Amino acid sequence: MRILIIGGGGVAEELLKQLNLKKHQIMVMEKNLERCSALQSVYDVLVINKDATDVSVYTSEIPMANFDVMLALTNKDEVNIFALTVAKLYKIPFRLARVKNPKVAELIIKLDLGVPITLPSVIADVIRSYLIALNEPKLLGEFKDYKLYTVTISETDRVVNKKIGELELPEDVTILMLFNGQKFKVPNPDEVLHNGYQLIVVAKESDITQIFKG
């Protein structure tokens, strides 16, 4: 994919760490010259030292029509919504912005500018998901004969600090994914279930609370 990233701060850098840069053509726009140099020295991407609010950058210096994705990741909502607007005018297919204000997120959705990621809301939702599945598994949904749960592992649970392969799970129970607070992972038998891990589990008839909590 051809990706334009507006803002070269911490979020952008973390994304660059996780993306396969050999599979994507990435351009980063950052107005801080020192930050540009730092990114350019570490990552195999094109970094340009420009102000994202300068209209002339989009009209004459960047081939906007060539991009598949535009990510507005600065720490200013007004800059990000401006960048989304420009990207929509150039018909970039996928547009996403980091925003702080839920009102701005609502406006982005209403105007169909792209996908808003509201960091305070995302963080609060992650914390909430931990809490509601702490004492007992939280039922997420049912699919025919199977049920999908989220389970938060705590220090007092019977499975804490054990490897998945040691759990001897019933045949109708499968751990689909685990979240370690930083990223989702596909589990393997040698994965140790640490305190704070969150599991996505599918089961048919088995008592999930008894299996994981004891």
**pTM assigned to the model:** 0.77
What's the confidence (pLDDT) of residue 160?
A: 95
pLDDT given at position 129: 85
For the chain, the domains span: 2-119, 133-212
Give the whole-angstrom CA distance, residue 72 versus residue 74.
Answer: 6
Beta strands 198-203; 174-179: pairing state: antiparallel
Q: What is the pLDDT of residue 104?
A: 95
**Structural element, H or E, at residue 36:** helix 33-42
How many whole angstroms separate alpha carbon 70 and alpha carbon 117? 13
Q: pLDDT per residue over 54-111, tens digit each? A: 999 999 999 999 999 999 999 999 999 999 999 999 999 999 999 999 999 999 999 9
Q: Which residues of 141-172 are buried (b: 16+ CB within 10 A; e: fewer)?
A: eeeeeebbbbbbbeeebebbeeebeebebeee
> Quick one: which of 119, 123, 87, 90 has its CA closest to 104?
119
CATH superfamily of domain region 2-119: NAD(P)-binding Rossmann-like Domain (3.40.50.720)
Q: Which CATH architecture has domain 133-212?
A: 2-Layer Sandwich (3.30)
pLDDT in the model for residue 196: 92
Q: What is the mean pLDDT of the chain?
A: 93
Entry field: residues in the chain: 214
Tell me the pLDDT tens digit for each residue of 110-148.
999 999 999 888 888 888 888 888 888 999 999 888 999
